[in-house]
Structure 1
């Protein structure tokens, strides 16, 4: 099935992904992981929530840790719109798609629209978030992997074609994709709004489930430093895959798991995609350089493990094809 043509004049304007709320069992343990190990900065904390941002971010938070009776699940994924009027246009769009819409109160955010995509992934859109002072030149604060900003989400979808078609309607554009040659269906796709390789990616599998969230770091050496730190502070078992370089996106990567099993990618070295007529790059599912440019296959856990969205039922994919998996 061909990928849809880009919608350059969508019904509302999403600028970028913004934040994610992760449900965790132990706030102290999770805060230690995201703050002391990864290096995010705590912007507020109470008995039930911890808010964090990365070093280049002026918005109040990019990660919310929420103490929950359902740890290891995702509460919501957040996106920022261009202006306030886009929120009303977004409400009209999602209602036209028979998706639920609700105006919700969120700490440190202005008017916020809560809705969901075609498979039920909870999404929220806002325009205003409290601004904090810049800290990107306060080098004494840098620690861990020195994360600069949140970069993207990747989710398992039971039907990547349908996910891509839905997000294309409101302006997400495909940069790279993998097609199953037998069925001619999409096996994976990378879609963006902000001019990088992706804000949201879809991988074939039981879903919807979050595969990972990702943070941009300055250099591959930051990833090596993180590996040394994790391997000597009791987190060697949380290292899942990498380091390596993806064929898709060209990014240097590392995948790690937090104390509740949420997967995070540490990520750098992809490329700019601002041109609206940029042609998507197609990959063969059986190309060993698709997953890793150097040819190393991903472990089975990378294709099986994901975190569910609260209250959202999953369904199995109908594509039988499989990429190369490490023994």
Structure 2
């Protein structure tokens, strides 16, 4: 499918991705994992729920952990430029025939709740409580020293249609993987904030959350985390890496918590702020697409993901297969 041109005048202005809610089955275990091991900062804690932020973030939270009977993802959050953009977003989603409601969320102003055409729960807002800066409080830094939330990656049963829909909201394509046999897009990376992506789509049964990523200062922080995980009882939670992606050029590590929620630890991608930047195309069979050094991803990376609350999944009809580690 031809790559659609970028929409430089979208119906409302998305600044960036903002936050995600993970439903977890053992909140105490998850607190130890995300706070004590990875180093996210607790901003509020109450019975059944923990709010977290990373070290450079001024907004109240980027990750919500909520106790639940079954693991799932509650929704993906995005910050808009203004209150007017929030009203324009509500009108646009309603015009697409998608559900629109206004919901109460702690520590936030007006929140628009909706879903994309595949059922992914989305939240949009313009105002979140501000907290004092902590990026120079170095005594608080621990674990992998997460600085900020960077992106979401979703399994999608139709990546081409996802690119069209999210492109209509102003997400710009930076890189994509093409299946040369069918001419269809197998994976796509799209951004608002000027990195390689705020959201990405990978072909597969979905919709499901493939991973949420956090930006860290240097590759050495990832090495330190691996040393820590391998000697403190978290060896089995390491899934893939470390390595350097061909797509995005970023240094990475993938880890999975007890409930199967996948986190990417991420740094060193490149700037994409120019509005006329042409997307980079990759062949699905290129061994450097996944990892610049040529190492393929394990099968779990292509098959396992987190379900979204209230969605029905469907299998993709694109059966093209990337290189998979034996």
1:70 to partner: Cα distance: 2.0
1:50 to partner: Cα distance: 0.1
Distance 1:190 1:285 in 2: 14
Distance 1:97 1:201 in 2: 21
- The one-character-per-residue Cα deviations of 1:186-233 (angstroms, maximum 9, x if unpaired) are 000000000000000000000000000000000000000000111111
1:135 paired to 2:134: yes
- The one-character-per-residue Cα deviations of 1:79-128 (angstroms, maximum 9, x if unpaired) are 00000110100001101111100000000010000001111100000010
Q: Which residue in 2 is equivalent to 1:35?
A: 35
Trace 1:5-44 onto structure 2 (pairs within 5 A).
5-44=5-44
Q: How many pairs align?
A: 326
Distance 2:117 2:193 in 1: 22
Distance 1:30 1:320 in 2: 35
Give unpaired runs (5+ residues) of structure 2: none
* SS of structure 2 residue aligned to 1:5: coil
Give unpaired runs (5+ residues) of structure 1: none
- The one-character-per-residue Cα deviations of 1:274-325 (angstroms, maximum 9, x if unpaired) are 0000000000000000000000000000000000001100000011110000
Calculate the TM-score normalised by the size of structure 2.
1.00
* SS of structure 2 residue aligned to 1:249: coil
1:210 paired to 2:212: no
1:307 paired to 2:290: no
Distance 2:27 2:217 in 1: 28
Q: Which residue in 1 is equivalent to 2:97?
A: 98
Distance 1:5 1:318 in 2: 25
Deviates more, 1:102-111 or 1:62-71: 62-71
1:169 paired to 2:171: no
Q: Which residue in 2 is equivalent to 1:220?
A: 219
Trace 1:1-327 onto structure 2 (pairs within 5 A).
1-71=1-71, 73-327=72-326
Distance 1:259 1:107 in 2: 26
* SS of structure 2 residue aligned to 1:250: coil
Distance 1:19 1:268 in 2: 18
1:3 to partner: Cα distance: 1.2
